[in-house]
């Protein structure tokens, strides 16, 4: 039986290494234990989440909708159109467009997955969708990587905060960046130690990021 008790990234990675299983298997076993649901049910739910994420990306990069405030909307489509001009490389610009697009869908009250929050909803799916396109990955692989991402989010939520109201954008976007990094390294066949290191480096890059509302709204900084 897989051991599922972890409260830190180090403990999560140590469990994966000692039991010689991928990180996602530890997180999946933990979720099965806590929710008393089957492996198949959990994977199916995560697949549905991934499908919603992809739908929001497609809507975001095609949309010119403006938010109710009128301050955001349509920028993802412009950014996506710019992706072939070479700056930063097509994959990086595409990922940025996906992330902005999902955030713009959120701003117009569209359907998104809070990952881990609504304010940071674009980061994880954008990174994974870009990886899927570049490396021709199957949705089943993405689903498992999302479980690894979830494990990082769980640890941060247990020990710190994922709420922007409590910790600023570093709590939301920092957590999401760490989750995305962990998932990407797993998709690249990285070891548990590499996954943990990637998450830590991503989070460090966003420490100190605060939320600066515009016109009293968090809409602009979130996007």
pLDDT classification of 141: cutoffs 50, 70, 90 = very high
Lowest mean pLDDT segment, chosen from 1-10, 55-64, 71-80, 138-147:
1-10
The share of the chain scoring above pLDDT 70, in percent, equals 100
What radius of gyration do the chain's Cα atoms show? 17
DSSP 214: B
Residue length, the chain?
223
The region, left, alpha or beta by phi > 0 then psi within -120 to 50, assigned to residue 189 is left
pTM: 0.95
Domain ranges of the chain: 9-210
Q: Are 164 and 218 in contact (CB under 8 A)?
A: yes
DSSP 191: -
What is the pLDDT of the chain when averaged over all its residues?
95
For 188-221, what is each residue's pLDDT tens digit? 999 999 999 999 999 999 999 988 899 999 999 8
For 90-138, what is each residue's pLDDT tens digit? 899 999 999 999 999 999 999 999 999 999 999 999 999 999 999 999 9
């Amino acid at each position: 039986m897989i051991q599922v008790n972890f409260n830190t990234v180090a403990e999560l990675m140590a469990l994966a290494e000692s039991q010689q299983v991928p990180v996602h298997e530890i997180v999946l076993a933990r979720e099965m234990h806590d929710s008393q649901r089957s492996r198949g049910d959990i994977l199916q739910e995560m697949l549905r989440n991934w499908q919603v994420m992809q739908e929001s990306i497609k809507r975001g990069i095609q949309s010119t909708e403006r938010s109710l405030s009128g301050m955001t909307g349509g920028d993802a489509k412009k950014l996506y159109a710019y992706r072939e001009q070479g700056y930063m490389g097509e994959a990086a610009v595409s990922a940025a467009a996906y992330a902005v697009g999902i955030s713009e869908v959120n701003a117009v009250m569209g359907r998104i997955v809070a990952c881990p929050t609504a304010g940071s909803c674009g980061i994880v799916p954008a990174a994974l969708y870009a990886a899927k396109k570049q490396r021709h990955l199957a949705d089943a692989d993405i689903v498992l990587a999302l479980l690894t991402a979830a494990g990082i989010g769980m640890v941060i939520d247990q020990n710190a905060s994922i709420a922007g109201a409590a910790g600023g954008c570093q709590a939301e976007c920092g957590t999401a960046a760490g989750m995305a990094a962990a998932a990407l390294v797993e998709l690249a066949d990285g070891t548990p130690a590499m996954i943990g290191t990637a998450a830590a480096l991503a989070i460090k890059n966003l420490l100190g990021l605060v939320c600066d509302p515009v016109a009293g709204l968090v809409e602009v900084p979130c996007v």
